[in-house]
Amino acid sequence: MNYIGKTLNGNVFDKNVDSAFNNIRPFSFALGTGKVIKGWDEGIALLNKGSKATFYIPSALAYGPQAPSRAIGANAVLLFDVELTDIKKAKLIPNQVK
């Protein structure tokens, strides 16, 4: 996926489509594994390949009372413009028998 993350006042704090942020390739993650904020897990699950959306993520589904950086304050509502460029099925790992 491609994304641009902003605060409600429009300050861009991250994006993967700009070399100024040292990241210019699509971002990938396994849905529902807790690798991203809860708002992304919930929002991305609603999209189809090729979809574009704007997510307004309440602080409870983002970082809550934590301030993860100087650009994102405590209890911040975050705005993300996202584009789901591809969906890949996860490889299932069979249960190990002991």
Taken in order of first residue, the domains within the chain and their CATH numbers are 2-83 (3.10.50.40)
Q: Average the pLDDT over each of 24-28, 66-70, 89-93 and give the range with the smallest value.
A: 89-93
pLDDT at 61 over 70: yes
Q: Average the pLDDT over each of 12-21, 32-41, 48-57 and give the range with the smallest value.
A: 12-21
pLDDT at 77 over 90: yes
pLDDT in tens, 9-32: 999 999 887 767 666 778 887 888
Percent with pLDDT over 90 in the chain: 63
Over residues 87-94, the mean pLDDT reads 72
Nearest-angstrom CA–CA distance, 55 and 7: 11
Tally of CA atoms within 13 A in the half-sphere of 26 that contains its CB: 10
Question: Which residues neighbour 53 within 8 Å (Cβ) at sequence distance 6 or greater?
Answer: 43, 46, 47, 81, 82
Residue in the block written with tokens 């070399």: 19
Catalytic residues: 3, 13-14, 37, 63, 80
Long-range contacts formed by 62-70: CB under 8 A, 24+ apart: 62/37, 62/38, 63/37, 69/13
Which pLDDT band holds residue 86 (cuts at 50, 70, 90)? confident
Mode of pairing for the β-strands spanning 52-57 and 12-15: unpaired
